[in-house]
Amino acid sequence: MLAPVQAMEPRMKQVLVIGIGAGNPEYITVQAINALNRVDVFFLLDKGEEKSDLARLRREILQRYVTAPKYRMVEVDDPPRGKTASGYREDVAAWRAKRLAIFAAMLADELKDGECGAFLVWGDPSLYDGTISILDDILAAGHVAFDFEVIPGISSVMALAARHRIALNRVGETVQITTGRRLAEGMPGGADNLVVMLDSAGAFRALQGEDFDIYWGAYLGTGAEVLRAGKLAALIDEIERLRAAGRAEHGWIMDTYLLRRPRSA
């Protein structure tokens, strides 16, 4: 007697969230390179003026590291985050809902069962990036079924420390990572070393009367990289000039800095 034919379960969609490093194509791990080579569909979300520069880096990474290209690309514009009268939290929630709908549609329509899709995340997916939480929300809502994996990359924070040849903490000290928006509300109490990201307004200006060392880096890992380190009060004007000049030249800027109180004698 013939064995009954087993009904084939459709194979699960696989999704990879791959950290690609924060600007230098060599800021990528061997694990990430192996992951890139498994991918059938790359989902690319780009925004505004950074778009062409970031897209160029992603293309370069794929050209360099994918040895037998078999992938498709699905490119979508990241919806801009609107500024409405309702306030920051509401604006972020509305923006996240739009992104969630876009991600869910891409995963449902563009990735076949059994295929592997990937999101290439700038730097490392664990820092100020919404990809993982959006995928969690899609799974929780039951919109689309998939398995997902996260592959770490070198974040701008690691790049900043390496380029300044520093450790983020001195012996036994804490390191805190925050945003320019939060710093503008006040220096967090108890922070020995404060890394500031996403500071479009230059929140460090408010600390000019205080004794801080700053380690600042813009366009880290790229050909346009700029670094400055020293006393905050002495560097504020120059850093503001460099930020304005960078924006004028490139149309966008990404900078990160470490603020640290000098060691007491």
CB of 246 to ligand SAM, least distance (A): 10
**Which of 15/220 has CB closer to ligand SAM?**
220
Answer for which of 107, 254, 258, 259 binds ligand SAM (CB under 6 A) is: 254
Contact 208, 189 (CB under 8 A): no
DSSP 242: H
Minimum distance from residue 145 beta carbon to ligand SAM (Å): 27
Nearest CA to 129 out of 160, 156, 102 is that of 156
Which residues from 102-161 bind ligand SAM, rule CB under 6 A? 122-124, 127-129, 155-156
Nearest to 214 by CA among 254, 156, 160: 160
Whether the CB-CB separation of 42 and 73 falls below 8 Å is answered with yes
* Closer residue to ligand SAM in complex, CB, 88/114: 88
Q: Which stretch binds ligand SAM (CB under 6 A): 84-92, 201-209, 241-249, 252-260?
A: 252-260
How far lies 9's CA from each of 6, 12, 113, 144, 215, in Å? 9, 9, 10, 16, 54
Nearer to ligand SAM, 20 or 106 (CB): 20
Q: Looking at beta carbons only, is 13 or 131 nearer to ligand SAM? A: 131
- What residues numbered 65-84 form the site for ligand SAM, per CB under 6 A? none
259 binds ligand SAM (CB under 6 A): no
Which single residue is written with the structure tokens 């790359």?
Answer: 42
Question: Which tokens in the block code for residue 2?
Answer: 């013939």
Which 202-231 residues touch ligand SAM, going by CB under 6 A?
A: 217-221
Phi, psi dihedrals of residue 147, rounded to the nearest 5°? -100, 145
Nearest of 114, 116, 104 to residue 40 by alpha carbon: 116
Q: Which of 256, 258, 259, 260 binds ligand SAM (CB under 6 A)?
A: 256
Residue whose pair of structure tokens reads 């490093």 in the numeric block:
21
- # residues near ligand SAM by CB under 6 A: 20
Q: Which residues are within 8 A (CB) of 170 and not within 5 positions of it... i.e. 6 or more apart?
A: 192, 193, 260, 263
| Interface with ligand SAM in residues 17-46 (CB under 6 A) | 22-23
Using CB under 6 A, list all residues that contact ligand SAM. Answer: 22-23, 122-124, 127-129, 155-156, 197-198, 217-221, 254-256
